[in-house]
């Protein structure tokens, strides 16, 4: 196929991708949009295979077969609770592919003097650098989320200085490459350094900060793809990369503002380690009231409005199906049940929505924070399942608290609060929660799933 026809067909791909994102603005059209995107991708792949300079060979056929099998099987088998690590994994392989394409481009074009214009070599180095950081960072995020390594922040003295020095060295080597040092070993060194930096920069970030990192790595891979587009002179890569980069950047900023923290603070703050004792002094008076499942069942069954507040604990316990059953049981008794979703609940943007959708909860019942907060005073019972920091009133009224200023779900405005928790241990941020000592609060200790199943049985018996 000639270059001109190929370019025209690539434009069809671009339009398909834009429509795919456009259709994501509503749950009713989103699935169709995703399929349009897939069609666009199929067109791009077919056009590329038909290009005159592309010779079909075992590398393409076997490589595509392996990649497609792995991708399809992993995507089909993954449980919805494991979705954050799956997103991290697919993000990483994209970054890795971009870095490898750059390595091959540099290898084939650099030895030929005068063939590499400065802008192309900048693109090659940028794509290799960002792609490698994204690959290694995503793999580490995957390992953390999959609990192959501990999810808590890992810190050591001199960490930030060391990371900064490493990044500086990698960028300096990259600049040298652009300036004309067309040395392949230096290029490999840039890739190795970037991989190392990717690991080191995700190491001190963990737990509840994961949504920020995942979004940021998503943006990185987008940028790497756009840079690859510049090195290959491919508009479809430039546009796709820019779209993904914009999406990842927007999500990163959204997650940051949902935690009232700057992105710098998330990346370099190692939040879990700070101020374990900071909020502790404020809330020592008051007692914790533990309740039995029967008590809570009665409370719920005779309420007229219940709001469920899910958190990462619900995902860990895989309690979403039991929660939906409980809500159904209550609705049959005439109780109005809604779900309040905090933007950073879980380990990636929108995590709770996906889990509850999997459990067949109709999406109009999933309420955003701004929508549901004014409704808490009219709520009889707020049922907090495995959420902690996102319902901590200290964020509103304790200026000394590390999470002060973070927008929270105002569950303490509800008439009664039930907190389901495994134990009294503080949440991810290591901050005590005065909500637990509120006279309106009762605690239901135990595994979230077992507790909810018990609640369903008790409500049925009433």
Residues 6-25, interacting with another protein (CB under 8 A): 13, 17-18, 20-22, 24-25
Q: Does 85 bind another protein (CB under 8 A)?
A: no
Q: And the tokens for 318?
A: 């895989």
* Distance from C-alpha of 435 to C-alpha of 288, rounded to nearest angstrom: 10
First to last CA, the chain: 72
**Residue 389 bears catalytic tag:** yes
* Distance from C-alpha of 36 to C-alpha of 23, rounded to nearest angstrom: 9
User: Looking only at residues 185 through 214 of this chain, which bind another protein when binding is defined by CB under 8 A?
Assistant: 214
- Helix ranges, 23-148 (H): 30-50, 58-77, 83-109, 118-145
Whether residue 251 contacts residue 215, with contact meaning beta carbons closer than 8 Å, is answered with: yes
The single residue of 389, 398, 412, 432 carrying the catalytic annotation is 389
User: Looking only at residues 365 through 384 of this chain, which bind another protein when binding is defined by CB under 8 A?
Assistant: 366, 368
User: Looking only at residues 29 through 48 of this chain, which bind another protein when binding is defined by CB under 8 A?
Assistant: 30-31, 33-35, 37-38, 41, 44-45, 48
Q: What is the largest CA-CA distance in the chain?
A: 83
**Only segment of 351-359, 375-383, 386-394, 428-436 that touches another protein (CB under 8 A):** 351-359
Q: And the tokens for 369?
A: 């924070």
Least distance between another protein and beta carbon 211 (Å): 9
* Distance from C-alpha of 68 to C-alpha of 145, rounded to nearest angstrom: 24
3-state secondary structure of 182: coil
Least distance between another protein and beta carbon 436 (Å): 27
Q: Does 229 bind another protein (CB under 8 A)?
A: yes
Whether residue 408 contacts residue 372, with contact meaning beta carbons closer than 8 Å, is answered with: no
Q: And the tokens for 120?
A: 């192309």
Whether residue 414 contacts residue 382, with contact meaning beta carbons closer than 8 Å, is answered with: yes
The residue from 80, 166, 167, 169 that contacts another protein (CB under 8 A) is 80
Contacts with another protein: how many residues (CB under 8 A)?
A: 114
Contacts of 108 (CB under 8 A, 6+ apart): none
User: Looking only at residues 319 through 348 of this chain, which bind another protein when binding is defined by CB under 8 A?
Assistant: 321, 325, 328, 341, 343, 348
Q: Does 78 bind another protein (CB under 8 A)?
A: yes
**Only segment of 74-82, 162-170, 195-203, 414-422 that touches another protein (CB under 8 A):** 74-82
**Which is closer to another protein, CB of 68 or CB of 175?**
68
**Which is closer to another protein, CB of 230 or CB of 436?**
230
How many helices (H) and strands (E) the chain has is answered by 17, 6
User: Looking only at residues 119 through 158 of this chain, which bind another protein when binding is defined by CB under 8 A?
Assistant: 119
The residue from 68, 175, 179, 186 that contacts another protein (CB under 8 A) is 68
Whether residue 19 contacts residue 29, with contact meaning beta carbons closer than 8 Å, is answered with: no
The residue from 4, 55, 157, 277 that contacts another protein (CB under 8 A) is 55
Nearest Cα residue to 135 out of 109, 103, 105: 103
The residue from 187, 230, 428, 436 that contacts another protein (CB under 8 A) is 230
User: Looking only at residues 95 through 124 of this chain, which bind another protein when binding is defined by CB under 8 A?
Assistant: 96-98, 100-101, 103-105, 107-108, 117, 119
The residue from 59, 114, 425, 439 that contacts another protein (CB under 8 A) is 59
Whether residue 415 contacts residue 441, with contact meaning beta carbons closer than 8 Å, is answered with: no
Which amino acids are annotated catalytic?
389
């Amino acid at each position: 196929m000639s270059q001109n026809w190929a370019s025209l067909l690539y434009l069809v791909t671009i339009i398909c991708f834009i429509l795919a994102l456009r259709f994501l603005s509503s749950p009713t059209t989103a699935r169709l949009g995703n399929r349009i995107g897939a069609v666009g991708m199929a067109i791009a792949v077919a056009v590329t295979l038909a290009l005159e300079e592309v010779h079909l060979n075992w590398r393409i056929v076997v490589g595509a077969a392996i990649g497609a099998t792995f991708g399809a099987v992993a995507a089909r088998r993954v449980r919805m609770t494991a979705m954050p690590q799956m997103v991290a994994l697919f993000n990483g392989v994209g970054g890795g592919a971009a870095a490898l394409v750059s390595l091959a481009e540099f290898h084939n074009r650099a030895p030929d003097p005068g063939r590499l214009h400065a802008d192309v070599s900048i693109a090659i180095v940028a794509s290799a650098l960002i792609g490698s950081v994204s690959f290694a960072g995503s793999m580490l995020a995957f390992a953390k989320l999959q609990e192959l390594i501990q999810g808590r922040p890992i810190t050591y003295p001199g960490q930030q200085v060391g990371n900064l020095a490493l990044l500086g060295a990698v960028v300096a080597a990259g600049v040298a490459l652009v300036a004309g040092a067309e040395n392949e070993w230096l290029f490999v060194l840039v890739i190795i350094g970037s991989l190392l930096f990717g690991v080191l920069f995700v190491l001190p970030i963990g737990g509840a900060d994961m949504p920020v990192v995942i979004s940021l790595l998503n943006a990185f891979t987008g940028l790497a793809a756009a840079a690859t587009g510049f090195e290959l002179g491919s508009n479809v890569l430039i546009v796709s990369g820019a779209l993904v980069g914009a999406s990842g950047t927007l999500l990163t900023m959204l997650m940051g503002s949902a935690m009232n923290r700057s992105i710098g603070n998330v990346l370099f703050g190692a939040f879990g380690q700070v101020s374990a004792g900071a909020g502790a002094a404020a809330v020592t008076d008051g007692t914790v009231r533990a309740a039995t499942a029967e008590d809570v069942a009665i409370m719920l069954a005779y309420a007229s409005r219940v709001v469920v507040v899910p958190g990462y604990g619900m995902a860990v316990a895989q309690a979403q199906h039991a929660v939906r059953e409980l809500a159904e049981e209550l609705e049959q008794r005439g109780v109005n049940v809604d779900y309040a979703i905090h933007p950073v609940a879980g380990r990636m943007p929108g995590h709770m929505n996906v889990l509850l959708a999997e459990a067949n909860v109709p999406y109009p019942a999933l309420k955003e924070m701004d929508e549901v907060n004014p409704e808490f005073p009219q709520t009889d019972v707020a049922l907090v399942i495995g959420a902690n920091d996102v319902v901590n009133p200290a964020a509103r009224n304790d200026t000394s608290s590390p999470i002060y200023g973070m927008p929270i779900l105002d569950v303490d405005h509800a008439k009664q609060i039930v907190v389901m928790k495994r134990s009294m241990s503080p949440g991810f941020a290591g901050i005590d929660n005065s909500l637990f000592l509120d006279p309106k609060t009762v605690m239901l200790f135990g595994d979230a799933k077992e507790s909810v199943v018990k609640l369903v049985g008790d409500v049925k018996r009433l």
